Structure 1
Amino acid sequence: MAGRGRDLEADQRHAAPGAGPSRRGTYRGEAGGPGARCLDPVARVRSDSRSARIQALVVEQAARRGARVGVVDVCTAAVAALPVGGAGLSAMSRTTTSHPLCSTDDISEQLEELQLTLGEGPCVDAFTQGSAILTPDLLTGATQDRWPVFADAALEAGARAVFALPLQIGAISPGVLDLYADVPTVLDAEELADALAFADLATLLLLDTRIDETGAPTGGPLPDRGFEDLGGYRPEIDQATGILTVQLGVGIDEAFVRLRAYAYTQGRRLAEVAADVVAHRLRFSPDAEPRQTDEET
């Protein structure tokens, strides 16, 4: 799956006195700052066997719905596999309006809406910093100071712990996967590695969907495609976005928006358009419409 090599912000803080961490979570003591958690290297690297297991869990959820695999199945599978009570996923952008895509229950839906409305919270920080934000207890003083409005609103909604995992492929970050628990909770190294693998898969599924100019997935089913095919597209999307920054003279976010917009107007998959750009079959220009070329590498 995705080899992002992203840095994890260890924001796992001590639970309130007398309210120990739930289920399988265990604290590893302080490291790198007050309340920070020491993470095992397994949390940074997902093996093929882990990816295959996560994929199987997601496929099982889609089969229960009787539909092709989508990001909603990633959310429901994550809730079933991890010590959390719900999950939500939001499409995020620095250039267009961010918005929730799916949630597994009322609390996760409220958390997605709250963070995007308030402009603060783990989801927002995970997107802007490009690292996982792990908050095992929203009642801690540090958390209250960091997100003074969101923390109280999230507690009132019924959340006690929140884990925000950015969806990333290289410099591209289309959204954030949020998990919550209703009691103080810490993810151990294996659970965190699984959570990151769910985020990796959500990234691939989100980028493989035809997306309109607002960033929202369009309606209508797409042909079934194997996970191995999705994985093969990751570097091409990243490469194509990089190529467009040169061709258009814009930043990475604007280049990605232009790539998505072209895919939408042509009714094509984002990954297919990216492949054309990388192979030099399609060239973008700042002063003209993208054009097909005969050149190919």
Structure 2
Amino acid sequence: MLQQIAHRISLVLTPGAMSFRVGGENFAVLLIATEPVGTELAEKICETVRAEPYSLMIDKLLNTSEAQVTASIGVATVYAEHGEVDQLYEAAGTALYAAKARGCNRVVHLSQLEQEALKSNVALDVQRFEDIAKVLVKRAAESITQHGRLMFEKIRAQADVDGLVGLYNRGYLDRRLPVEYSIAEKESVPITVAMLDIDYFGKVNKTYGWPTGDAVLAQVAERVRSNARADDWIARYGGEEFCIVLLGTILEQARNVLERIHTAIAALPFKATDGRSIAVTASIGAAERLTSDKDVKALMERVSARLLDAKNGGRNRVCL
């Protein structure tokens, strides 16, 4: 974005004017001109910066978004016999703080502040201090707001994750799945949902204890996650059941993914807390969204029926 802003500034510069970045999001323009000419150029820069939104790349897939940007500009004029460049820069900074303190998105010239100071009988240095204080308070408030937002997002993310297995929880599933279903329905794209149930999990708890049962749940979750695809997402449905959502995937394509997950669970034994090996298998049922489905509940009923078929068929299998 800074490059785009710099380019826009360069388009309106008058001959002989020089622009440069002075740090962060701050730019400076230096020109030999009278006060009216300098102020007019500043107004043009302010207008061109806010004229059109800026295109931003928001992820690695080159998806873009637009952002509206405004500028605050402080202008000062110093005559050669009365000052040096450092004084000019400091004077422009005073005007810049005034522009920000007055609501941003504007141009303020130092002479305007001097006239106001005379009328109000308030020293310019005092006004500068007040303007700086206003800007700093605003920045602090924005920082606190941003920090609070990040904390809220972190807490919300934690609330969406099952603490034991590290996958999404049932609450997240119940919120997101209807949304994904609606998108698939609207855009006529496939979506397949699978339910996975750990076979005879009650016996694991009874034989090896609850700590081992928890460890098995976490290990199964990890095998499911590591054998699913990047675009698939998984949630713990409850107890020993997991839900796998395969976006943009027809049932036959989902078969390969689900068979891989099924095989990964059964391939290697799990470890009990006392070191004993435990053979664990899983039953999986899956269904694809059909145009005849009235809503996501209809899809989930068919998914549940396929899982029941897998259990009634002897368990340790995938039923589509």
TM-score range, shorter chain: under 0.3
TM-score by length of 2: 0.20
* Structure whose residues are more often strand by fraction: 2
Task: Give 1 or 2: higher helix fraction.
Answer: 2
TM-score with structure 1 setting the length: 0.22
Structure number with bigger Rg: 2
